[in-house]
Amino acid sequence: MAVERPVVTPEQLDRVVLWVNHPLSELKNTYAHHYITWGSKQTFASKKSRSVPVPERPRCTGRPLWYDLTGRRPGIGFWPMAQKYRHIIPWNPKEVPCNHNLFDIHSLELQDYEQGALMGILNSTLVGLLKHFYGRYAGSEGNCQWLQSNSAMSALFTK
């Protein structure tokens, strides 16, 4: 997911995800069944892990249905894991789910108008500057990387 604007909408996205939370037995003779069966045989080898079928990967084995991604609650905004030249924390009013390069921002007890104010504050110059104190530089040309452990240390995310 590429972050280009301060508001994320489904129309801007160039990828789609299949959301299924039914067992394969209920999906017989459908394209979803065919696609999930095909996916269960794929290995997608990488340099970090050995080549195993997708259902046997650690992130999938913990789910009752290895292909079920429907239980997530999208956040009100996204915090990018990496930033190069531009500080932008997009607002997510349509509750679009994010990928692994973005962190969901959850406002546990904020009203709608307070959520809007929070997104404005997170997009401020001050937060953009503070980001570099808690993040770490990775790669070249000042690429700032932000990990979940940085969030725990940051005054931005503590109560």
84 and 30 in one domain?
A: no
Please report which confidence band the pLDDT of residue 133 belongs to, taking 50, 70 and 90 as the band edges: confident
| Same domain, residue pair 81 and 44 | no
Share of the chain above pLDDT 70, in %: 88
Q: What is the mean pLDDT of residues 145-153?
A: 61
pLDDT tens-place string over residues 91-106: 998 888 888 788 888 8
Strands 144-145 and 77-80: unpaired
Q: First CA to last CA across the chain, in angstroms?
A: 29
Band (151; pLDDT cuts 50, 70, 90): low
Specify if 101 maps to a domain.
yes
Is residue 150 in some structural domain? yes
Amino acid at 62: G
The count of domains in the chain is 2
Q: Identify the pLDDT of residue 148.
A: 59
Paired tokens of 10: 């489904």
Range of the domain at 32: 24-61
pLDDT for the residue 31: 95
User: Does residue 68 fall inside a structural domain?
Assistant: no
Residue 5 domain-assigned (yes or no): no
